[in-house]
Amino acid sequence: MSSPGSGRRMVSAYINPPSGEVIRRWCSEQFHDSRTAHRQSTITTSAGPTHVLALGDTHEPGPVVVVVPGTNMNTAALLPFLAELATRYRVIAVDIPGQPGLSAPQRPTRDRTDWYGRWLDEVLEQTVPDTAVLLGHSLGGAIALACSSPRVGGQVLIAPAGLVRLAVPPRLLVATLAWLAAPSRDHTSSLLQAMTGPARTVAPHLVDWMTLVARYCRSTLAPAPLNPGVLERCRSAPCVVATGSHDIFLPPRRLEPAVHDLLGTELRVLPSCGHLALDDDPAGVVELVDDLTGRL
């Protein structure tokens, strides 16, 4: 297996090695304090060591749901959603290499989606015994679309990147620049509130987490739209695609034509949700998984 970044220019998710230690310590504390039963492991991939979290009854019949987080997110930050999903399914969730968390810190500076697609193929080969349902959010949605593993029985894509370029309205740009230039809980709260449904409250642990990301990490841009050939392959498997009615990056009017034309399905809209739908309405996202698994 080739080493991470073989033949590629790589960059770390962290501004320096001590920053990575701060991030890993926060993640470990979330798992230590969690009341949800879970099992942690690390597997070896061509993208480097990958942290894997398993939840739910391992003897539960049906497909395994594999959760791929979005930019700057990971299994520790998603624990409340993963706990809810695990009440109905066997769940495997992964920290994406090159994103802050417990996986390898290095990521390529270009052709990231292809690289991540191959990485997810390897993850499924090592962790899923039969059929997987991929649940990808944002960047994780683009990675799920780029995955070519025959183990994938279907996909649930929440505000997926890789179909159209993300909208960046001025108020979001202002909030993002303040968050990066002067990391504080207030600036983080303002940014996250712009990404959350207007009637929803930002979870305190997300404020803590994203403040650390601003202080210690190198955030990434959203991936460019995927190659049409990759998307054509995705039309052969059952797929549910949804976005929040108040998603600031991918509002329904922006995402709907691409979902219809490129994936051949209809866009679902999660009422009162923003971009952080897994936190805004975890039960609604689980219902989307129920819908897809009912067809398998």
Checking if the pLDDT of 106 tops 50, the result is: yes
Total-model pTM = 0.94
> What is the DSSP track for 107-132?
EESSSHHHHHHHHHHHHHHHH-SS-E
For the stretch 216-274, pLDDT in tens is: 999 887 777 787 777 776 667 899 999 999 999 999 999 999 999 999 999 999 999 99
Secondary structure (3-state) at 157: strand
> Which residues partner with 40 through β-bridges?
53
Checking if the pLDDT of 110 tops 90, the result is: no
pLDDT on residue 111: 79
Checking if the pLDDT of 59 tops 80, the result is: no
Instruction: Report whether 96 contacts 140 (CB < 8 A).
Output: yes
Instruction: Report whether 156 contacts 289 (CB < 8 A).
Output: yes
Checking if the pLDDT of 1 tops 50, the result is: no
Checking if the pLDDT of 37 tops 60, the result is: yes
Instruction: List phi, psi (to 5°) of 43.
Output: -115, 160
Checking if the pLDDT of 31 tops 80, the result is: yes
pLDDT on residue 30: 97
For the stretch 118-159, pLDDT in tens is: 999 999 999 998 899 999 999 999 999 999 999 999 999 999
Quote the CATH superfamily of domain 10-167+221-293: Alpha/Beta hydrolase fold, catalytic domain (3.40.50.1820)
Secondary structure (3-state) at 40: strand
- Share of residues in the chain with pLDDT > 90 (%): 81
CA dist 177 to 170, 219, 267, 284, Å?
A: 11, 12, 31, 31
For the residues 66-81, what does the mean pLDDT come to? Answer: 97
For the stretch 205-219, pLDDT in tens is: 999 999 999 999 998
Checking if the pLDDT of 12 tops 80, the result is: yes
pLDDT on residue 60: 66
Continuous H helices in 51-198:
79-85, 112-127, 139-146, 170-181, 185-194
Show the tokens assigned to 137. Answer: 């959010």
Secondary structure (3-state) at 265: coil
pLDDT on residue 4: 56
Query: Maximum Cα–Cα distance for the chain, whole Å?
Result: 49
Checking if the pLDDT of 8 tops 80, the result is: no
pLDDT on residue 235: 66
For the stretch 174-208, pLDDT in tens is: 999 999 999 999 999 999 999 999 989 999 999 99
What residue spans define the domains of the chain? 10-167+221-293
